[in-house]
Structure formats: C-alpha cells, structure tokens
Amino acid sequence: MNDILEMAQNLGQAIADSEEMKVFHEMEKIFYEDEEAQRVMNEYEAERAKMTVKAKETGMTPESLKLFQSEMKKSMDKLMANKTVKEYLEAKSNFNDIIKKVNSIISFCIQGEEQELASEGGCSGNCGSCGGCH
C-alpha cells in the first residue's frame, strides 16, 4: 500500500512539474489579470446562459437547434478572437488532455480496457472545435 501511495505522490509531482502544467498556470495568471479577456469571457458566459435558458423554455426543434448552434458559434468565435482567452483555453485543454491520458492509462491497468474519458457530452475545454456547449 505504501508503494502505491508513493507512486501516486511521484506521479502527482511529475504532473505538477510538467511543461503543460507550467504553461497552464502561466496562461491562467495572464488570463485572470487581463480585464479585456475577463470581459469577453463574462459576455460569452452570459450569452451562453441566456441562450440555454431560451432553448429550454421554447423546446428544441431541428430549426431552433440549428439557430442555437449558429448563435453559439458566433459567440465562441468572438470569444476566441481574444488572444489571451484563446491561449488560456488552449493551455487548459493541453493540461486536461494529459490528465485524461493518465486516467485512461490507470483505468486500463486496473480494468484491462481503455476508458474513453472524453466521450460524447464531455468537455475538453478547447472550445475551438466545439459544436456548441452543453
């Protein structure tokens, strides 16, 4: 048991020391200090929440779903036009990918099958390839 905990501690330290973690922390600091990045992120979140509520209230027809996706794409494009936001979300996605791969490897070793952690409905954090949020 102590061997397992020691290996877990070593793995945690290796992740903390990884380039992906360092870049993510650096971009996170820049992102939270950038007032413009905060403003566009808050606008995006407000717009997403408003559209989600509207979609739930009115129900989704194929036409309204297409409109919802189009509006979300416009909102996402506007968000990703901010260099700081884009770099922050990319760094976050890269770090999350490492964590997902580590979890997949551990699951494979325990269960004997690879787990699909970023399956349908999962959010990678990289909104650039997303067709619409939740």
pLDDT tens digits for range 57-91: 777 778 878 888 888 899 899 999 999 999 999 99
The domain ranges of the chain are: 2-107
Q: Which class in CATH covers the domain with range 2-107?
A: mainly alpha
What pTM does this model have?
Answer: 0.73
Helix 83-111 × helix 62-80 angle, to 10°: 110
Contact 102, 11 (CB under 8 A): yes
What whole-number distance in Å separates Cα of residue 102 and Cα of residue 17? 15
pLDDT in tens, 90-129: 999 999 999 999 999 999 999 886 555 544 444 545 454 4
